[in-house]
A and B are shown apart, each in its own frame.
Chain A
Amino acid sequence: MKARVAVLVFPGTNSEMETRDLLVDCGADARIVHWSEAASLQYYDAFVLPGGFAYEDRIRAGAIAAHDAMLDAVIEGAQAGKYVLGICNGAQILLEAGLAPGTGEVRRPTAAFTHNAQGHFICERVLLRRTVAATRCAIAAALPEDVLIPAWAAHGQGRLAAVPSHLEEIDNGDFIVFRYADVAGATDAHFAPQGSALGAAALTNREGNVLAIMPHPERDAWNFNHLDRSEGDDPLAPSGGSVLFESFVTALERR
């Protein structure tokens, strides 16, 4: 039986369709669940929080959604070991909910993806490299070694920030699953287009069952997204950023 994955929609979410479609293409039974259907979340094996602007980013990006009834089920599921993937605004929500890096109490954030250093929205194609052991985060465990994942950094608030002592803990504790990389696979803080601390693009929690990733791999995930595709390639075939979703579904199947 295929793994059942809930793609959560809050008022203001805008990336649920492509996120659901890619999960389906990668082999999951993925369904969109709206904020009024929180009670149904208990029946799902995993949760994906897609990008957008939940509750219009009121107060702070992700702050209101982190206290929504939908997150009650996500938090409960994460604590029970279910896999949770948050992309862009979904990642901001996971940090506001304290699920990533998960070093404090639930719903008491210890870090944030906040305003870009340049002070405005950016939209850039980026490359991500896993910089922890494959076993550190189950969702990213099935990725090919040294793969570079293409994604789109499309956000006004994608810069990881925390107090310096906590950034050190995040770094030393291998919470940064993906860092921004160049085409040769080198990672360095200056490859982060928005000035993200430690060049971080994605954080996990202590248990490795939660992944909060800022750039959008699902926007670079089918051949039709790639201008350099070959003439005979099926435009609807998954490619590029789909490897992360394939790894996510593989992790679910291995459970």
Chain B
Amino acid sequence: MNERAYAVELKIPDNEAYTAMRALQRLGVAVARVQRADILVFEREESDEALSALIERDERLFNPNKHRLERLPGAHPRDGEVWVEMLDAARSAPMRRLVGWRLFDHAGNPLGGADLDAACTRLLCNPAIERAIR
């Protein structure tokens, strides 16, 4: 059974992402834009349509007034993205819930290399309780 991932992202201004961007800039990370999303990873038999409907029906996961739902191309972070997961999250749960942070530079390109590493280790992930997936 393949893992499939969905991103639930705010379509209204994301104050938390903005705060993260300002904090990262203060730390010297060359980031110009931050996107944040709840990443939902499933390992289930249902079709994409059925899983999307499942998410959209659950008010704990999705509010159509403020969220957009996106099926991600793979169950792994995209360029410039890190997924942060609690270390004690139940790995066998039917749905894994992570936080996705996608960082872009001043040219609009996904952030990579040392800057993304610095963002993870200095702010986005506390290794005592979380793991960062790149």
A residues apposed to B, CB below 8 Å: 55-56, 58-60, 63-64, 67, 96, 107-112, 114-115, 161-163, 166
Contact = CB atoms under 8 A, between A and B. Distances in A.
Contacts of B127: 109, 163
Given A55-B19, A67-B26, 16 more contacts: A58-B16, A59-B20, A60-B130, A63-B126, A64-B20, A67-B23, A67-B123, A96-B126, A107-B122, A108-B121, A110-B128, A112-B128, A114-B86, A161-B87, A162-B128, A163-B128
B126 A112 contact: yes
B23 A161 contact: no
A64 B23 contact: yes
- Interface residues of chain A: helix, strand, loop or mixed (majority): loop
B128 A58 contact: no
A111 B126 CA distance: 8
Which 8 A-B pairs give the minimum distances between C-beta atoms?
A58-B16, A162-B128, A112-B129, A58-B19, A111-B128, A109-B126, A114-B129, A161-B129
B124 A59 contact: yes
Contacts of A112: 126, 128-129
Interface of B: 15-16, 19-20, 23, 26-27, 86-88, 121-124, 126-130
Nearest to B24: A67
A186 B68 CA distance: 51
Contacts of A56: 15-16
A157 to B, nearest CB: 10
Contact of B20 (A58, A108, A109, A111): A58
A63 B128 contact: no
Contacts of B27: 67
Contacts of A55: 19
7 contacts: A56-B15, A63-B126, A67-B23, A67-B26, A96-B126, A161-B129, A163-B128
Contacts of B16: 56, 58-59
Contacts of A111: 128
A77 to B, nearest CB: 20
